[in-house]
Chain A
Amino acid sequence: MFDAHIVRKDFPILNRLIDGKKNIYMDTAASAQKPLVLLEKLEKAYLEEYANVHRGSYWLSEVATENYEKARQIAAKFINAESSDSVIFTRSATEGINLVAGTYGLANLHQGDEVLLSRAEHHANLVTWQQTALKTGAKIVYFDLDDCGNFVWENFEKALSPRTKIVAVTAMSNVLGTIFPVEHICKAAHNIGAKVLIDACQFAVHKKIDVQKFDCDFLAFSGHKVYGPTGIGVLYGKYDLLKEMPPYQYGGDMIEHVSYEKTTFTLPPARFEAGTPAIVQAIGLSASLEYMMQFNFDDIEQYEAELIDYTTKRLLDISGLKILGTAKEKGGVFSFAIDGIHPQDLAFILAKEGVAIRTGHFCAQPLVNALGYNSLARASLGIYTTKEDIDDFITALQKAKNFFANEI
């Protein structure tokens, strides 16, 4: 059985005090805290097994290369990729999406083609395609969710057209929490010959990724949100597509043969990892992914579903509080607004109570604006979030509310 109280013990930072108060970390959707096993792995990689990879024929380089490539296999296992050759290490999910847009997108999008996005995409999966559309003459088409944030199949289907070449959607909205039916999306898109990129940044934290079951063409997620290091992300691509894609950046480690006149490029994944990669970050990520894989995802999901219900109930007990995003299928993020209290003011008070929440537009400005706000507050759950955290968070909210009730 999954027990967040036991899990918490693996995350030393959760025990520290914030200005003398308990650390109530409710911003995992922005970045997750790190388990001790990650730090141990990083330490070992730097202190005992460090050298550049894919180069030297000496022991340290061999062991570093082995660890780095093993990290690729672990990442492949985490997403159930058919082969680790389909796994590219990037700097972040943002870079992964940029890589697909900048190589596959630029090579395959033409005037009149369409890229289909949901209206809930965050900037990484929106600005990137806007810019690619500007360069290629392609058009961005959006489909709507309903007012509660539910994915509406008819809206999606109606927006698909024979001109759709790429569908780029999140698997879980970072604002609304909505879980997208990615498997069905891929099937429908493939039926009309479009390729699908899944932004799995939030999804990866809460649910099991299975790229073969999804049958997606590309999938990106970032390391730091799945309890891993910053500066590392994973991009999955179907190998047949990756093989046809031009390089994204040029440099060492991605070439087959170089002369002064001409260069031929090596096969993926190395083709897309120019220069010295984020070696230790990738190795560190593998420790975090293995850490997550020791749990049964069904147990995590069940625990989280209960915690989501509980949090929703407690939040709605607060008068004047509105939750944005109440889709039937949703993960552990709660965007909310309280009548008469600006999220920034609220966050100031919560911070003094040791509670960390995010405020603003969460890098999804068009969506937050479309919901009728300039700024929202957001609390999000991680595998270490307990019912007591929620209680402390609610108590702090009440306190903030009382504070402002006397001021306004």
Chain B
Amino acid sequence: MNMHSLILRTAGHFLLPLLLLFSVFLLLRGHDEPGGGFIGGLVAAAAILLYLFSMDTESARKVLRVDPRDLLGAGMVLAVISAIPGVFRGQAFFTAQWWEFTAPIFGEMKLSTVLIFDIGVYLVVIGSVLTIMLNLAEAED
């Protein structure tokens, strides 16, 4: 899998944090504007994949720190759990719940179950894409 390219390797190292940051930006931006968990997850997975191409599978797993299957599971649990809070307020499953509060620096903030769902999707996308790609890469080695 190693391409032995100095340019790719250097670029990969620099782009990885930038792309990950961008993916979080996309995730949080997604509620009212283009973006969201799915596209954010794809960007994050692409960041790790770029690292994988420039290095090898072992270091890609190392930089990820957790097993992608754990991400997949955690994401699915989060996404399903986000459906539940509405029920405790006597509403239907998946009814969005909002909490507004004022934070010292950021001003007025809104948190919602929609965000939890989106984070779940984000993790599921990273987890499933990387599970597939890492397995394929290891099968090739």
Do A and B assemble together? no
